[in-house]
Structure 1
């Protein structure tokens, strides 16, 4: 009897435990309903679509850049954040034939974060030493003011409106901010909402270094929930980012009532009452013909990180090309 009890105890201890996270049933039902949803029709494509080329996290590499009207780089130009690395990337990007090139910094681009250099001088010295020993770069040390930007548009929590032929224009908001996880540039505490109301409502493209939570942000869902709330408010045509290398890819979402409600549940700001709204919206989509419903534009999420997850100098992914 003693051995039987011990045997049963060992079996129970070795059996895998199934851990169910809070709200898992709610999120599962919301995702199931979303898969059944018939969203409203999309607006017609512009007569003269613009080709947008997206890259991020080049870390000193120079992947093939396809032609297009607009080139976007979502940060982490460099590996160590030194002058020589960043200048080499700026020269390479400036030589590209696109009509406009817009970029932001990333958490690796220490030189461009003046506050970081003041707060962490010892960290900057350590990085400078590591960079000078790195065989992949030719190390030079100069201040950020000496950078030659060429025709590149640099955005740091700012906007720009770009005008194209055929009477087209795009408004871009760019920011390097990411939630803090280590000692690196342009980071903010996890609990700080640095996004509320920051993006102009008429923005077409949001260019950030870090992803919004739940969208191409890795298995650990490392994106920023506050950024996702801002995306829901603005509903841009396109949001481009990187930072989480393994999240590389493209997603499309239509934020009608069902899409918004599902996002609130995923972000833990919606409960069972919100789920009822999702269910009603799904049923409404089957009752009303799509031809009688108002078109809703889609938001395209792009994680354009091109380097390998752990090897910052090895190119794994291609630049993302799309039309808007």
Structure 2
């Protein structure tokens, strides 16, 4: 099974070169301002991709997905995961758009107990974890050196030990790392100036 994975496209999806694959995964910030127009344009684009399965986890810019009435009208061909699981053949996915923050962005939760309740929902046998937020201390540095990742998410990943943890959010730290049984991908496509600097990650399972 071939997974094609990306994040943080911020309305530049039409300029991306998307490889063929079985599952297309977007780990958040498909839009910049989260408007209806931006979101509908992205969803139409994602629907048009040839991958048989499409999975979307919104990000902190994607305000459109916070409203229940909008979720009820999303394309059925796209699996939008908001703190929920999806099983495709033998793989269990779990996705969450939640990021640490002060509430000024979409899906923000305060650090500590408030955000921990979301990570407690991650099933023990998750194969592929998709979050918009990185775990704290891993590919979460901004250019000035501050770490934006989530401490509670780090604990949850260490507990669950998924095969893969896919995320974005911090453009400056795109890349991959393998620690113990988990391979981590920061899938950010753009740099901090909004330029396309990376290609989608390919994962063959």
Larger relative helix fraction: 1
The yes-or-no answer on 1:81 pairing with 2:34 is: yes
Structure-1 residue corresponding to 2:122: 199
Deviation at 1:206, TM superposition (A): 0.6
> For the residues of structure 1 that align with 2:11 and 2:72, how far apart are their CA atoms?
19
Structure-1 residue corresponding to 2:200: 319
List per-residue Cα deviations over 1:119-171 (Å, max 9, x = no partner). xxxxxxxxxxxxxxxxxxxxxxxx625854251101000001012xxxxx211
Q: Summarize the Cα distance change of 1:96–1:220 in structure 2 as closer, same or farther, 3 Å threshold.
A: same
Identify the match of residue 184 of structure 1 among 80, 93, 105: 105
> For the residues of structure 1 that align with 2:64 and 2:138, how far apart are their CA atoms?
29
SS in 2 for 1:217: coil
> For the residues of structure 2 that align with 1:191 and 1:145, how far apart are their CA atoms?
28
Aligned partners of 1:87 and 1:147 also within 8 Å: no
> For the residues of structure 2 that align with 1:252 and 1:107, how far apart are their CA atoms?
26
Larger radius of gyration: 1
Q: Summarize the Cα distance change of 1:161–1:108 in structure 2 as closer, same or farther, 3 Å threshold.
A: same
Q: Which shifted more, 177-186 or 209-218?
A: 177-186
> For the residues of structure 2 that align with 1:107 and 1:210, how far apart are their CA atoms?
9
List per-residue Cα deviations over 1:20-75 (Å, max 9, x = no partner). xxxxxxxxxxxxxxxxxxxxxxxxxxxxxx21111001111121111111111001
> For the residues of structure 2 that align with 1:146 and 1:200, how far apart are their CA atoms?
25
The correspondence of residues 303-318 of structure 1 with structure 2, limited to 5 A, is 303-311=186-194, 314-318=195-199
Aligned partners of 2:28 and 2:132 also within 8 Å: yes
Aligned partners of 1:238 and 1:299 also within 8 Å: yes
Structure 1 unmatched ranges of 5 or more:
1-49, 116-142, 164-168, 255-297
The correspondence of residues 109-148 of structure 1 with structure 2, limited to 5 A, is 109-114=62-67, 144=70, 147-148=73-74
Identify the match of residue 58 of structure 1 among 4, 9, 14: 9
RCO greater where, 1 or 2, for CA within 8 Å and sep 6 or more? 1
Identify the match of residue 86 of structure 2 among 149, 160, 173: 160
Aligned partners of 2:112 and 2:152 also within 8 Å: no
> For the residues of structure 1 that align with 2:63 and 2:93, how far apart are their CA atoms?
23
> For the residues of structure 1 that align with 2:22 and 2:156, how far apart are their CA atoms?
27
Deviation at 1:307, TM superposition (A): 1.4
> For the residues of structure 2 that align with 1:304 and 1:145, how far apart are their CA atoms?
24
Structure-2 residue corresponding to 1:238: 164
TM-score, L = length of structure 2: 0.90
Q: Which shifted more, 227-236 or 145-154?
A: 145-154
SS in 2 for 1:160: strand
The yes-or-no answer on 1:175 pairing with 2:96 is: yes
Size of the alignment, in residue pairs?
A: 198
Q: Summarize the Cα distance change of 1:150–1:195 in structure 2 as closer, same or farther, 3 Å threshold.
A: closer
Structure-2 residue corresponding to 1:11: none
> For the residues of structure 2 that align with 1:238 and 1:196, how far apart are their CA atoms?
16
